[in-house]
Structure 1
Amino acid sequence: MSGLVLVGASGLAREATAVAVLMNHDGPVSIVDDNTATWGTLHGLTPVLGSVDLVPGLVDHEVVLAMGRGGHRRRVATRLGMLGLAPERYASIIHPRIVLPGSCHIGTGSIALDGVVLTADVEVGEHVVLMPHVTLTHGDVVEDYATLCAGVSLGGDVHVGEAAYIGMNASVRQGVRIGAGATVGMGSVVLSDVPAGQTWVGVPARPIRTGVLA
């Protein structure tokens, strides 16, 4: 495929574009977004072609979902699947300075920015976003559509559920489970399991509200 299309005119799309340039991506990089005000404009230096529904027709383009929230990425992936987008059209964007040990794996459609570290036996799912300087240590599992913001550090054998969101510079103790759809606030220190759908903040982190987040 010759081109790359990023779904979502976001800050993440700008960062992903910069990595694609470093990777010397073969073809042009473009963006689609449902916000009509962005159509025909430049997002940074990248053209916005039109709506998300254009993606299946861009048959010579690889696709990356560049929305910050995992729930948004999941909904768009479902929508594009219903429009006939084949799973093999998805690409990953992995910063060229990241060292990926043989015992570690990053799934298709994921984005990993500069400074991400994976040590050993780390499993990262599909359409996951790893912002700059995320540290994943031995035995960590990050499920599909999760988002780990800049500076997040996970101790060993942490499990992050589907579409969970961990805010900037948060730290998670070894062996802890972050439930599906949960949110951890920036700078939080998580010492015990976070149930699915809950929002936890603080040092040590405590719940502030419940309800599954989209």
Structure 2
Amino acid sequence: MPRTQLLLVAAGGLAREVLALVRTHDLFDVVGLLDDSAALAGTDVDGVPVLGGVEDVVAHPGAALLVCAGRGSAREALVKRLAGAGAGRERFATVVHPAVEVPDGSHVGPGSVVLAGVVLTTAVTLGEHVVVMPNVTLTHDDTVEDFATLCAGVSLGGSVTVGAGAYLGMNASVRERVHVGAGATLGMGAALVADLPDGETWAGVPASRLGDAGPGRHRATTPEAARAAGDDGRKTAS
């Protein structure tokens, strides 16, 4: 049986990671990439041609799609543009590393990417266009809403909710029953023990809003550390 054709949208680092995964495990036939960058026009990425910009999706009606922008906000914008070009949610592929078990009672939505080493214990729900990078741990009753990004090594306690478009940096951890707000950013290595409001950026151990560190709180104190914590608003998953 022939493999499903797949177009990757946004030709960055995440696209290359997805491409390596689907090639290694023969999951899809990646026929090309779509990216608006003029510098990429007519080139290839790891041997796969860049076929045009996002609107050129109309020339490939039979291919499944996967949006590979690292930032959730960028993925959301691209999904809206694809919808405007006639590509509905039924066109989106879901890529889960074959070694990752998705147990009964758990769900991974269309357009989502789950890379190697991820653990889902039970009753975990991932929304649409979620990106879960390597070695993330998702425990019982966790919910990750649409367009969220969990970077490598993130750990969620039980019954955590991660809001739409939120970004959790590498090796961040979230205490059980805590809520991460929509569009919020949790810095790399942070330990979140209280709800993080929508749209805010928190970092440190225990995590607090950047600029609000009090006694006993440890947060980024150099420009480099602040950027790593997400102080620039949102880093890509690549």
Is this a same-fold pair by TM over 0.5? yes
Find out whether 1:34 has 2:39 as its counterpart.
no
Structure 1 residue aligned with 2:76 = 74
- Determine if contact 1:164/1:180 at 8 Å carries over to the other structure: yes
SS at match of 1:18: helix
CA drift at 1:26: 4.7
Find out whether 1:125 has 2:127 as its counterpart.
yes
- Determine if contact 2:30/2:48 at 8 Å carries over to the other structure: no
Provide the rounded CA distance (Å) in 1 between the counterparts of 2:133 and 2:30: 23
1:39-54 correspondence to structure 2 within 5 Å: 39-54=41-56
CA drift at 1:109: 0.6
Runs of 4+ in structure 1 deviating by more than 3 angstroms, as ranges, are none
Provide the rounded CA distance (Å) in 1 between the counterparts of 2:87 and 2:42: 23
Provide the rounded CA distance (Å) in 2 between the counterparts of 1:20 and 1:197: 33
The Cα offsets for residues 173-206 of structure 1, whole Å up to 9 and x where unpaired, read as: 1110000000001111111000000000111111
Structure 2 residue aligned with 1:65 = 67
Find the partner of 1:99 among 88, 98, 101: 101
SS at match of 1:48: strand
Structure 1 residue aligned with 2:191 = 189
CA drift at 1:3: 1.5
CA drift at 1:41: 1.1
Note the residue ranges of structure 2 that are not aligned, 5 or more in a row. 212-232
- Determine if contact 1:107/1:125 at 8 Å carries over to the other structure: yes
TM-score norm. by structure 1 comes to: 0.94
Provide the rounded CA distance (Å) in 2 between the counterparts of 1:26 and 1:205: 40
Identity between Structure 1 and Structure 2 (%): 49
The alignment covers a number of residue pairs equal to 211
SS at match of 1:6: strand
SS at match of 2:210: strand
Structure 2 residue aligned with 1:153 = 155
Provide the rounded CA distance (Å) in 2 between the counterparts of 1:91 and 1:80: 14
Structure 2 residue aligned with 1:109 = 111
The Cα offsets for residues 106-161 of structure 1, whole Å up to 9 and x where unpaired, read as: 00110000001100010110100000001100010000000000000000000000
Provide the rounded CA distance (Å) in 2 between the counterparts of 1:26 and 1:44: 15
Larger Rg: 2
Could you tell me which amino acid in structure 2 is paired with residue 42 of structure 1?
A: D
Could you tell me which amino acid in structure 2 is paired with residue 3 of structure 1?
A: Q
- Determine if contact 1:56/1:80 at 8 Å carries over to the other structure: no
- Determine if contact 1:22/1:96 at 8 Å carries over to the other structure: no
Find out whether 1:177 has 2:179 as its counterpart.
yes
- Determine if contact 2:19/2:30 at 8 Å carries over to the other structure: no
More moved, 142-151 vs 50-59: 50-59
CA drift at 1:60: 1.7
SS at match of 1:103: coil
Structure 1 residue aligned with 2:216 = none
Provide the rounded CA distance (Å) in 1 between the counterparts of 2:36 and 2:201: 28
Task: From the superposition, tell whether residues 136 and 26 of structure 1 become closer, same or farther in structure 2 (CA, over 3 Å).
Answer: closer
SS at match of 1:53: helix
Provide the rounded CA distance (Å) in 2 between the counterparts of 1:70 and 1:97: 25
